Amino acid sequence: MKRLEGKIAIITGASAGIGKASALLFASEGASLGLIDINLDGGKEVCEEIRKNGGKAEFFGIDVSNPEAMKGAFEAVADTYGGIDVLYNNAGGATPRDDYILKMPLDEFDHAIGLNLFGPLLGCRLAIPYMNQRGGGSIINTASIRSMIGTPGADAYTAAKGGVVTLTRALALQCADQGIRVNAIAPGAVLTERVKKLMEQDNDSGPTQDMIEKHLLGLGHPQQVATVALFFASEDSNWITGQVLPVDGGASVH
Ligand SMILES: NC(=O)c1ccc[n+]([C@@H]2O[C@H](COP(=O)([O-])OP(=O)(O)OC[C@H]3O[C@@H](n4cnc5c(N)ncnc54)[C@H](O)[C@@H]3O)[C@@H](O)[C@H]2O)c1
């Protein structure tokens, strides 16, 4: 039996990188999917690929920090498929003007928090009532290795991801008696197209040489995070909640 057979999952940031790899993997494991992303072309392509392979997916070209748009998307997924069982809050990333605290334009903080912390909080707030109706569910948030160890230079992003860690624990406590598990993945440097570009530009919000050297097993690939997201989404992890799992090739051991 497929590991997500009969499950309905929402994945944010599903047009590229880790979210795209997860969407394709979750679909191949039998999930019906609601995919959210601001990248319309990428999202439609992922959706078409899933449908071509016999899977079920709907795409919503919206911003995760827009409460009304998110509400509409969650309602549409629940109406179309009959509920929501899994939420993978994956959309995020260092925002373009994020920097060391003394250099960062102050309004970039709101931008970073909106995408990386408010978006996931909104997703959780919308998904929990639907999960309650189904007798439980699994929420997977996305932190970062930056929330586990000190890494300077994308300070608003780092603060936002730290918030994701504590939000995850707080929600795990509140939701356990409703059968809803809440965990987070803290990726190390994963070679998505975005990260590859940052490395080419030698931009500080990408992995630094020091960070690269710390990855004992080398830099990661989107599929290596997607398989962990699948584990948290599935019943394989049904005795795990409130945890933040580094998926980082050993980088956080340093
Ligand atoms: N790749 C890494 O090295 C790395 C490391 C640590 C944490 N992460 C985290 O993993 C997650 C995925 O990262 P990735 O590298 O796959 O990113 P990515 O840039 O490859 O993909 C992110 C997707 O999110 C979408 N997105 C961006 N802003 C959005 C918004 N406001 N609303 C909806 N969609 C939006 C983008 O269009 C894109 O398709 C992020 O939360 C990121 O912070 C990644």
167 alpha carbon – ligand 1 mean position (Å): 19
The per-residue pLDDT for range 127-166, each reduced to its tens digit, is 999 999 999 999 999 999 999 998 899 999 999 999 999 9
> Would the CB of 49 count as within 6 Å of ligand 1?
no
CB atoms within 10 A of CB 156: 27
Which atom of ligand 1 sits closest to the CA of residue 13?
24
The Cα-based distances of 139 to 11, 181, 205, 233 in angstroms read 10, 6, 27, 7
- Residue 202 has what pLDDT? 65
Rounded to whole angstroms, how far apart are CA atoms 189 and 187?
7
CA of 207 to the centre of ligand 1 (A): 14
Which amino acid belongs to residue 236? D
Classified as helix, coil or strand, 254 is coil
Q: Is 18 in the pocket of ligand 1 (CB under 6 A)?
A: yes
Q: Is 187 in the pocket of ligand 1 (CB under 6 A)?
A: yes
Evaluated on CA atoms 152, 164, 119, 114, the torsion sign reads: negative
Q: What is the pLDDT confidence band of residue 41, given thresholds at 50, 70 and 90?
A: very high
Angle between helix 222-233 and helix 17-28 axes, rounded to 10 deg:
50
93/151: higher pLDDT = 93
pLDDT at position 91 over 70: yes
pLDDT in tens, 54-74: 999 999 999 999 999 999 999
pLDDT band at residue 198 under the 50/70/90 scheme: confident
Specify the higher pLDDT residue, 9 or 96.
9
User: Which residue out of 70, 111, 116, 194 has the highest number of ligand 1 atoms within 8 Å of its CB and is therefore the one to mutate?
Assistant: 194
Q: Give the pLDDT score at 247.
A: 98
pLDDT of residue 103: 97
Q: How does pLDDT run across 236-254, given as a tens digit for each residue?
A: 999 999 999 999 999 999 7
Structure tokens at 52: 């071509």
40, 98, 111, 144: residue to mutate for ligand 1 pocket, most atoms within 8 A of CB? 144
92 lines ligand 1 (CB under 6 A): yes
pLDDT band of residue 204 (cuts 50, 70, 90) is: low
Instruction: Tell me the CA–centroid distance for residue 15 and ligand 1, in Å.
Output: 9
Q: Measured from the CB, is residue 184 less than 6 Å from ligand 1?
A: no
The CA distance from 147 to 162, in Å, is 5
Q: How far is the CA of 93 from the centre of ligand 1 (A)?
A: 5
pLDDT score for 203: 61
Confidence of residue 206 (pLDDT cuts 50, 70, 90): low
Return the bridge partners of 142, or none.
Answer: 185
Task: Indicate if the pLDDT at residue 105 is higher than 80.
Answer: yes
In the predicted model, what is the mean pLDDT of the chain?
Answer: 96
pLDDT number for residue 167: 98
CA 88/CA 115 separation, integer angstroms = 14
CATH dotted code for 8-249:
3.40.50.720
Active site residues: 157
Q: Decide: 123 in ligand 1 pocket, CB within 6 A.
A: no
